[in-house]
Structure formats: structure tokens, C-alpha cells
Chain A
Amino acid sequence: MNQKTWPNSADTSHYTALSFYHKTRIDKPQNNRPHKRVSSTRRWVWVPKISPEAESRPSDPKRDFSMLPNDIIVRIAGGFNHPTLEAASLVCRAWCDALRPLSQAMRFLAWGKKYKHGRGGVEVDHERALDYFLRGVARGSTLAMVDAGLLYWDMGKKEEGMKFYRRAAELGHPAGQCNLGLSYLQIESPDLKEATKWLYKAANSGYVRAQYQLALCLQHGRGLKRDLCEAAKWCIKAAEGGYVRAMYNTSLCYQCGDGVAQSYQQSKSWMKRAADRGHSKAQFEHALGLFAEGKLKAAAVYLELAARAGETAAGHVRTALFEQMSPTSQERTIQLADNWRPLPAVH
């Protein structure tokens, strides 16, 4: 934008806050050299004083959040999920009007997902799904940007997909940042610097998938200098955030002492947590652990679950174990496996 004068946004509210300052005399130089008391070197600095009392003083005009420019309101709400967006739309008339496009975007997003997965009575139609996602993007929804990016990527149009990830990423959407980072790793000529930059941004925002991917990069020295301690740190963060694959990986770290002090106790604990959340390899390994402790019935259940999830080796072990069990015990095991539900987690 080439402009020589100040922008004149008519809908920016005017505010006339009083400013409060206090004088501070800087006596000690920060480098700790002995201070020479000469009057010409005495410095008076006006330090702005922003205190909560000053903000809420009755004579201060109110900062009216309902008078914010529409594009700022949309920016605030850009990444909201449906319930929060609905609540925000009902705050006041100005917000209702400003967020109407985003609410419409939510609707398009819902339709797009239906057509993408073939749910709710419609058949899978990627073109139509993409059309809905793009309509959501046009209304400023960062969630729609990520979904559009995902769909383009699935369709093989990686560059297009990355363009949308970048849009969401630059607006601060952690999933967008994470996906952008991952795409830089997965393209034909990977850009490791960009990949790690965006993964770090997403990881620092608390996005567990990015934290896990960052841990993997650090473990394998991909794009970053190999650092097992840092890798373990991020892996544990992701695991504590509920990411199942990270829980499994954390268990292995504790088992082998990679980047953390070796601890069979911790390893066992994390393996069980991953197993209880549906990680098939974790279920198999946890079952073997239980078997070693002589807890055959519990081992049998986890072996059955792992076998059902596709671990063929677990299937063989379970068959061998069943041969040692009574028919009643076998039946009980199947029943427990049928009634088992994974604990809530991030996959």
C-alpha cells in the first residue's frame, strides 16, 4: 500500500485516554560501573505508568469493544469453534453483524465436511466439498482455510494446499502452522528451515501434533541439530497434552533412557496410557508387560484389542495364550474386548 497520508478509517473509534507518567531518575548505570555524580549526566526519563487503577478511573472514557472495526472483530473470532462463535455473535448487535460472515462460513464448513467424508445422507464429492470450503475461506474463516488446504493436498494439488495453509498460518492458526511445517518436510525438495520455523510456532502455541513432530525432527536430526533431551521434552509435552502417538514414543524414551533418565515405571505408565487410548502397538507391548508379570487375563484382553486393531503378531500370541485358558476365560476376554472403549485423546 503506497500512501503518503495517514489512513482515515472512519469506523475507528476515537478515544481520549489520559496518560499518566511518573519521573524516574536513573542513578545506576546497568553495567555496574561506579556512578559519577555529575549534574550534566543525570538523566530524567519519563516512564509511562499503566496501572489497573488508572484504567478504571471514572474520568477515563470507556473503551468500547462493540465499536471495534469489523475486520478486527473477525480477526479475533477467526479461529473460534461453533459454540464460541455463536456466543460471540450474541454479545451485541455490532458483533452479530460483524460475525455474520463467519457464521455463514461455519455453515459452509459443515457442509464441506459432509461432502468430504460422505456423511449425513450425502455421497462423497470432493469438488463440492472444496467449493464449500472456499466459500468459507472467502468469509474469513481460518478453519475453512485449513480444511481447504487439506483437501487440495489429498487431491494431489500440494502447492495449492500449501497456499491455504500459509494463509491460516499467517493469521496465527496453530493447525495451519503445523500443516504448513509438515508440508515443507514432505514436498519433493524439502525446505527444512521453513518447516521447523512453522512447527516451532505451532508447538509454542500448545498444538500437540506440532510438538510431537518437532520431537521427531529433533530425534532424527531433521532440519535441526539432533538433540534427544529437547526431543524428549517436546514429546512429553505432547503426551501430556493428550497426543496418543506421543505417549507411545514417551514410553520408549523412558524405556531406553533417550533424552530422559531411564525409568521402567514411567515407561510402563505411559505405555498403558497409550494402550487405553487405542494405540495398537502400545496395546501389544503393554500386554507383553502384563504377561511378564503373570497377569494373564488382563494381557489377553490387550492382546485381543491389539489383534483387532491389526497387529498380527498380537493375534498369534493371543491364540497361543487362549490355548492355555478355559473356555469361560476366553469368553470373558472377548466380552471385555467387545465392551472396551478408548479413553478420550488427540490422535
Chain B
Amino acid sequence: MKKLKFIGNPLLQSREKINMSSDKKWLTLKTTEDNEEFVVEESVAIMSNVIKNMVEDGCASSVIPVPRVKGNAMGKIIEFCKKHTEESDEKVLKEFDAEFLNLGPDALYDLMVSANFLEIKVLLDSVTTKVADMIKGKSSEEIRNILKIENDLSAEEIEESRRENCWTRQE
């Protein structure tokens, strides 16, 4: 059975679906990796520059296949885009983003890569800012622990990098 996702209140959207042809345009985004389908308003979907270009160029059918993005990441992305389309108060959006991005490094990684791929500037900025804040003021070892990165630099490479940066430290 096909699994359809309605973002938002499904009961409300079932009523909206009947009136779908009236004023709002809807798109179905289908993640090709796991075959999840998401029905979203076009105004929300075009926050992705890539989807926007496809729609404007007229090469988007009613179902747009989206490679590389997993269903759970797509759901989060649509939730973000919907909020940012509906809300214009900076303060409210700031609070929403703070809560929305209260995720572990793995989820943030998925969002970052997907936002980059789909060219959603606002989301990419928010996630990269969040990651930057997580590692600001930390040592290399601490950064590695937070983001679970393995150190593959040799002692010579570390020394060379330190020497390169040494004179600026003296400023």
C-alpha cells in the first residue's frame, strides 16, 4: 500500500484536498531511496531552489522524484520549510529553529547534506550555524569527539599547520 504523508493536520488537509484545484497548488515529492511520498504546497516546496527551477522550467510533473534524500530527513525539511513560509516574525522563527535543530550530530549531518543538495539556503544557513556554535571555542580533540571524526593527520602535518598559523597567533 502506498504510504502518503500529509504534512500538518491530516483531517484539515483531507478537506483541503477536495478544494485542491481551487487556489493552492500541490506537489508530491517522492524520495526515490525509500519511496516515501510527501504532499506539500508548491509555495513550500519551492523554498528548494532546485525544485523551484524544475517548476519554473515546466519540467516538474505532479510527482517529483527526489534522489539522495531519505524519508525522515525529507519530513523534517518540509516541516522547516512550511514554518518558514507561514511565519514572518523573526523572533518566532528564531525560537522555532532553536528547538527544531536540537538534534544530534547525525541528524544535523543529514539535514545539512540534504539542504545543500536541494539548495535550501535558509535551512543550510541555520544548520551550519548550529554546527558552528557546537564547536566554537573547542579544541581539535573536542571537535573530533563531538562530530565523531577520526584524526588522520600525521604529526608532521600537524606541526606544519601549526607553523603556518604561528605568526598570526603572535599578532
Evaluate contact between A19 and B72: CB separation under 8 angstroms.
yes
Interface flags for B1-35 (1: CB within 8 Å of A; 0: not) read 00101100111101000000000000000000110
Of all chain A residues, the one with the shortest Cβ separation from B4 is A46
Evaluate contact between A62 and B148: CB separation under 8 angstroms.
yes
Number of interface residues of B (CB under 8 A): 71
Check if B86 is an interface residue, CB within 8 A of chain A: no
Cβ contacts under 8 Å, B50 to chain A: 3, 6-7
Check if B87 is an interface residue, CB within 8 A of chain A: no
Check if B62 is an interface residue, CB within 8 A of chain A: no
Check if B135 is an interface residue, CB within 8 A of chain A: yes
Within A53-105, the residues touching B (CB, 8 Å) are: 55-56, 60, 62-66, 68-69, 71-72, 75-80, 82-84, 86-93, 95-96, 103
Cα of A200 to Cα of B12 in the assembled complex, Å: 34
Check if B83 is an interface residue, CB within 8 A of chain A: no
In the assembled complex, the CB of A184 is this many whole angstroms from the nearest CB of chain B, namely 16
Evaluate contact between B117 and A55: CB separation under 8 angstroms.
no
* Tally of A-B Cβ pairs under 8 angstroms: 183
Check if A52 is an interface residue, CB within 8 A of chain B: yes
Check if A9 is an interface residue, CB within 8 A of chain B: yes
Check if B143 is an interface residue, CB within 8 A of chain A: yes
Query: Which of A10-18, A185-193, A315-323 lies at the interface?
Result: A10-18
In the assembled complex, the CB of B81 is this many whole angstroms from the nearest CB of chain A, namely 15
Which residue, of A15, A84, A171, has the highest number of chain B Cβ atoms within 10 A? A15
Cβ contacts under 8 Å, A62 to chain B: 106, 148
Evaluate contact between B144 and A55: CB separation under 8 angstroms.
no
Q: What's the dominant secondary structure at chain B's contact region?
A: helix
Cα of A41 to Cα of B110 in the assembled complex, Å: 35
In the assembled complex, the CB of B148 is this many whole angstroms from the nearest CB of chain A, namely 7
In the assembled complex, the CB of A47 is this many whole angstroms from the nearest CB of chain B, namely 8
Cα of A250 to Cα of B164 in the assembled complex, Å: 45
Within A31-61, the residues touching B (CB, 8 Å) are: 41, 43, 45-46, 48-50, 52, 55-56, 60
Within B50-72, the residues touching A (CB, 8 Å) are: 50, 53-54, 57, 59, 67-68, 70-72
Evaluate contact between B110 and A91: CB separation under 8 angstroms.
no
Cβ contacts under 8 Å, A41 to chain B: 11, 14
Evaluate contact between B53 and A56: CB separation under 8 angstroms.
no
Query: With A3-B50, A63-B109, A87-B143 known to touch, is A75 a contact of B70 (CB < 8 Å)?
Result: no
Evaluate contact between A92 and B144: CB separation under 8 angstroms.
yes
Check if A223 is an interface residue, CB within 8 A of chain B: no
Query: With A2-B53, A87-B139, A200-B90 known to touch, is A77 a contact of B132 (CB < 8 Å)?
Result: yes
Interface flags for A297-336 (1: CB within 8 Å of B; 0: not) read 0000000000000000000000000000000000000000
Evaluate contact between B144 and A7: CB separation under 8 angstroms.
no
Cα of A19 to Cα of B6 in the assembled complex, Å: 17
Cβ contacts under 8 Å, A68 to chain B: 109, 112-113
Cα of A102 to Cα of B70 in the assembled complex, Å: 32
Cα of A86 to Cα of B9 in the assembled complex, Å: 47
Evaluate contact between A88 and B140: CB separation under 8 angstroms.
yes
Evaluate contact between A75 and B152: CB separation under 8 angstroms.
no
Contact of B9 among A30, A84, A107 (CB under 8 A): A30
Evaluate contact between A9 and B149: CB separation under 8 angstroms.
no
In the assembled complex, the CB of B112 is this many whole angstroms from the nearest CB of chain A, namely 6
Cβ contacts under 8 Å, A15 to chain B: 70, 109-110, 113
Within B87-132, the residues touching A (CB, 8 Å) are: 90-91, 94, 103-107, 109-110, 112-113, 116-117, 119, 124-125, 128-129, 131-132
Check if B49 is an interface residue, CB within 8 A of chain A: yes
In the assembled complex, the CB of B20 is this many whole angstroms from the nearest CB of chain A, namely 17
Interface flags for A113-146 (1: CB within 8 Å of B; 0: not) read 0100000100000000000000000000000000
Evaluate contact between B110 and A96: CB separation under 8 angstroms.
no
Cα of A68 to Cα of B135 in the assembled complex, Å: 16
Contact of A43 among B10, B54, B169 (CB under 8 A): B10
Cα of A98 to Cα of B19 in the assembled complex, Å: 50
In the assembled complex, the CB of B164 is this many whole angstroms from the nearest CB of chain A, namely 7
In the assembled complex, the CB of A61 is this many whole angstroms from the nearest CB of chain B, namely 10
Contact of B90 among A75, A88, A204 (CB under 8 A): A204
Query: With A13-B113, A68-B112 known to touch, is A96 a contact of B161 (CB < 8 Å)?
Result: yes
Cβ contacts under 8 Å, A64 to chain B: 149
Evaluate contact between B103 and A50: CB separation under 8 angstroms.
yes
Evaluate contact between A1 and B53: CB separation under 8 angstroms.
yes
Q: Which are the 6 A-B pairs with shortest beta-carbon distances?
A: A63-B109, A48-B72, A90-B140, A48-B75, A65-B147, A55-B106
What are 7 A-B residue pairs whose CB atoms fall within 8 Å in the complex?
A9-B116, A41-B11, A86-B161, A90-B161, A91-B143, A91-B151, A120-B171
